Every structure is written in C-alpha cells, then in structure tokens.
Structure 1
Amino acid sequence: MNTFRGLGEDPEYHPPALTGRPRDWPLDRWEEAPRDLGFPDFARYQWRGLRMLKDPDTQAALHDLVYELRPRTIVELGVYSGGSLVWFRDLTRLMGIDCQVVGIDRDLSRCRIPESEMAGISLREADCSVLETFEPLRELAHPLLFIDDAHANTFGIMKWAVDHLLEAGDYFIIEDMIPYWHRYSPKLLTEYLATFRDVLTMDMVYANTSPQLDRGVFRRTTHGR
C-alpha cells in the first residue's frame, strides 16, 4: 500500500503517434471517422514540451486551488520529467503569486527542465523511506501546497508533514492512489486516514473533481506545530 514502482516510461515528450489511421481524415467519410484518440491519453499531456502526468480535469482543479490558496510554496514529491513543476511556476507567475516551486525525488536524473527554465524552481534529493532527508523543508514559506505524486511511504510522509511542516490552511494532496487503495485495501486505508481526523479534513470542493484527486485533497485544520 505504501510502495509504487512508477510508470517506467520515457520522460522525454514525444508527440502522440497515430497507428492504423491517417491524421488528416477526409470529410466525405466524416461519419466513418474513429471516435477514440488512437493513443493513450497520457501520451498527449505536456507543458511546453515537458511531459506532465496530470490530466486536464486535475489541471483545472489545481488551477482553482492555487488561485484560492495563493501558496508561497508548492512542493511536489515525485519530479519525473519536471513538466508539472514548470506548469506550477508559470501558473503562479500568471496569477501574480510570489511562489517557490520545490520538486523532490530520490532520482532526479529523469528531470528534463532546461537550466534556462529553472527560475522559481528548486530540486532536492530526498528518500521517502528516510524521513530525515525531508528536514530542510521545515523552513518553507506558507501557505503551502504539498502534493504526493511519488506513492512511496505516503502515510509516513503525511504524518511527518502534519507533525513538522503543515500549518493551518495548508494542503496535502495524494494523487492517483486513493481509488486503488480503496479498492484493494479499504479497511487499512480507512484506518490510516482516521488517524488524521483531529488535524486534517477532506476539502470537498476539490476532492471529487478528477479521478487523480479522488478523495485525496486534505487541508490542515489546526496549527499544532
């Protein structure tokens, strides 16, 4: 429940390639045109040429949350190609928010952000199984949005964040995994989440906006640091 091998995909962005059909479809055969994409959805999600593993519904929900919260820091656990880090940086700039975007991974070799695009973005190595490696995050500015997209020791990281990082109003988001855990380990998931009942609530404005965010958007309700 606390480990996830990741996608194992090529972090480079390549435009989706159609198979078995032309890209330009003749209009005199309009009714015969296939209705499906002809390639996996995630193959086309990118930001400025960097792969971005967030679907459009998730992007729209996070856009609204960022506008409402106006975070001073966004932390994303799991960097991959870095597309979402650049997206968050550009998004906050467009909104006039003074925000530092922090990407954390134990292996930063897959990050493809050009050096010329690193303004406002910092990368840090940390291991989800070694919580001490997260200690430098304690000094980050608030409000803070913390997104777990690494799926390793998630609830250990969540507890560390509650105990040492999050202030009232800050967010902790678990992407992707809640529906799978609920399907295969519902009792354990319920027990884990219940341990945070005095310090976190689920924000129902955003928790059901996309399958990636399904029941995984949590807000810190008390200080307690």
Structure 2
Amino acid sequence: MRGSLVCVEAPEEPADRTDHTHHTDGTGSGDALLPPRVEAAPDGDVRAYWKARERQHVRDVYAGVRIKKFPEDLRMMEHLMWLSRSQVVVELGTHFGGSALWFRDRLRALAGYGRVPRDVRVVTLDLRQDKARAALSAADPSYEDGITLLEGDITDPDTARRARAAFPAGARCMVVEDTLHTYDTTAAALRNFAPLVPVGGFFLVEDGIVDVPELRPPGMPGGVLPAVRDWLAGPDGAGFRQRRDLERYGLTCHPGGWLERVR
C-alpha cells in the first residue's frame, strides 16, 4: 500500500486520562492540548500515514471535549446533514460528548441558514451518561437546550422509541452508530434505529475499519461490515442503499457504513 505520503507524529499520550475537558487561557499554553502532530510529505507510505491518523484522532477534542472522529468523516456528515435537511441527529454511543456538541453546533448552523427549523436537537444514547454529563456541563452549562442524554441499551427496541419521543414534531433525522463495533450491536442498531430515518435521510455505521485487516485497531473483534451486508440483504434493509461513493476524502474510519434510505 504505497503512495505519496509519509508521516511524522508526536509521541502518543497515555491511553486514559481523568480530565476530558480542556481549557486554554489564550496565551498559547493550550497548544499542549492539541492532538499529536502528523505530517504528510511526498514519496511515503500511505498505510503508515493512515495508521498515524487513526492514532491521532482518538486524542482530538471539540470545544474542549474528546471527540475521536476523523475531520474528513465529520465533513461528510456535515454535507449529509445539509442535503437531507436533518433537524435531529441520533447518536448511538456518547462517550464524553464531544461529537454531540459538534452535531448540535452543525445543526444550529443549518438552522441559521434556514435549511431546517430552529428547534434542533441531538439525542445521544449510552448505557451510562455520568462522564458525558460532567464533560458537557463543563463545556456548556446550557447544553440541555440542544442535547438530550439518554441511558439505555440499543438492543432494546424501547430505547429507539424513547429516542423518537425526544424529537421535535415532524423533525427529520440522521442516525450515527458508534457503539461496540461488533456484529450483534451493529445489527441491533440497524434493526431498531433505521426506522427513524426518513426517505432521503442517512444512517452512518461507524468504524467498518474493524473488518479491514490492514487497518483494524488492536483488540477490535470486528463484525460491523458483515452485519451491514446481512441487514441490507434482508427485508429491513431493502429500503436503503450503501453509498461507497460518499467516501470522498481518501481517509475514512467508516468504509461501507454510509447508508441512504431511498424508499
């Protein structure tokens, strides 16, 4: 896997930290809280560059809260929110809440351009929300104005019904699945939450890289792409199509996971 890139990256930070919200005083001291540096140069190894970017993205933050997503994937999500006129994002897997803040702010931008109504909302689910609640409160004490934290198991159909109950009336939504990245959790997320997506809307299954041997992060068992394949082949997935053409930026953590409802 050769190409025109080579990487130089900063040493990795410890995998676990107790402070997942960061603040800077504007003097430059906040630079230490930026993600590790990755440099691209000609005539290098694309696989090594990709691996460096994958390690980098788990150290990234948004509004001072850990986000753990490739900028290229975030940009495509923003495109799809605009195209589908999504007023709500349903996020499966909250972690510390950085992506929930990012989704909320992008939805607010869409509302500012008149693309969607101003009553936007992110409904983000996890088994426990203690860490996210603390991190979001530190970043934005009024986060509940646009973000609903739900606790529940995505394998339980009632969890999807509770998520739907938090939508503004008539709202269109996009679903982003970012849970355990196993066959069973991916299949359950598709089965229970895909019905929330309207025609012309999108369901993003994250981290199909767990099924790409050259890119699989350590300790990830896989099963995401087989679950997507089996679901699309069954009656529940018949109204969706897989949009590999949306992998437009050359780097994505979600190969095969961009799904559009077409009927």
Q: Describe the shift of the 1:217–1:113 C-alpha distance in structure 2 as closer, same or farther (beyond 3 A).
A: same
Deviations 1:133-182, CA, capped at 9 Å, x for gaps: 222233434321000011362212211223x4232122111111x23236
Letter aligned with residue 108 of structure 1 = Q
Q: Scaled by the length of structure 2, what TM-score is found?
A: 0.64
Counterpart CA distance in 2 for 1:134 and 1:188 is 19
Counterpart CA distance in 2 for 1:109 and 1:103 is 13
Q: Which residue of 2 aligns with 1:104?
A: 125
Q: Give yes or no for contact 1:78–1:150 (8 Å, CA) kept in 2.
A: yes
Q: Which residue of 2 aligns with 1:145?
A: 174
Number of residue pairs matched by the alignment: 197
Q: Which residue of 2 aligns with 1:200?
A: 240
Deviations 1:173-205, CA, capped at 9 Å, x for gaps: 1111x2323656676663343225521101244
Q: Which runs of 5+ in 1 are unaligned?
A: 1-7, 24-35
Counterpart CA distance in 2 for 1:54 and 1:198 is 29
Letter aligned with residue 213 of structure 1 = H
Q: Describe the shift of the 1:79–1:10 C-alpha distance in structure 2 as closer, same or farther (beyond 3 A).
A: farther
**Larger mean Cα displacement after TM superposition, 82-91 or 109-118:** 109-118
Q: Which residue of 2 aligns with 1:116?
A: 142
What secondary structure, in the 3-state scheme, does the structure 2 residue paired with 1:67 have? helix
Looking at both structures, which has the greater relative contact order when contacts are Cα pairs under 8 Å and sequence separation is at least 6?
Answer: 1
Counting aligned pairs with the same residue, the percent is 22
Deviations 1:22-49, CA, capped at 9 Å, x for gaps: x9xxxxxxxxxxxx98x94025411110
Counterpart CA distance in 1 for 2:35 and 2:190 is 39
Equivalent residue in structure 2 for 1:72, among 87, 94, 109: 87
Q: Describe the shift of the 1:207–1:126 C-alpha distance in structure 2 as closer, same or farther (beyond 3 A).
A: farther
Q: Scaled by the length of structure 1, what TM-score is found?
A: 0.74
Q: Describe the shift of the 1:188–1:108 C-alpha distance in structure 2 as closer, same or farther (beyond 3 A).
A: closer
Q: Describe the shift of the 1:118–1:167 C-alpha distance in structure 2 as closer, same or farther (beyond 3 A).
A: same
Matched, 1:85 2:126: no
Equivalent residue in structure 1 for 2:71, among 40, 47, 56: 56
Matched, 1:131 2:151: no
Counterpart CA distance in 1 for 2:205 and 2:196 is 16
| Root mean square deviation of aligned Cα | 3.1
Counterpart CA distance in 1 for 2:59 and 2:226 is 36
Letter aligned with residue 90 of structure 2 = V
Q: Which residue of 1 aligns with 2:209?
A: 179
Q: Give yes or no for contact 1:137–1:165 (8 Å, CA) kept in 2.
A: no
Q: Give yes or no for contact 2:155–2:192 (8 Å, CA) kept in 1.
A: no
Matched, 1:157 2:180: no
Q: Describe the shift of the 1:49–1:206 C-alpha distance in structure 2 as closer, same or farther (beyond 3 A).
A: same
Q: Describe the shift of the 1:44–1:199 C-alpha distance in structure 2 as closer, same or farther (beyond 3 A).
A: same
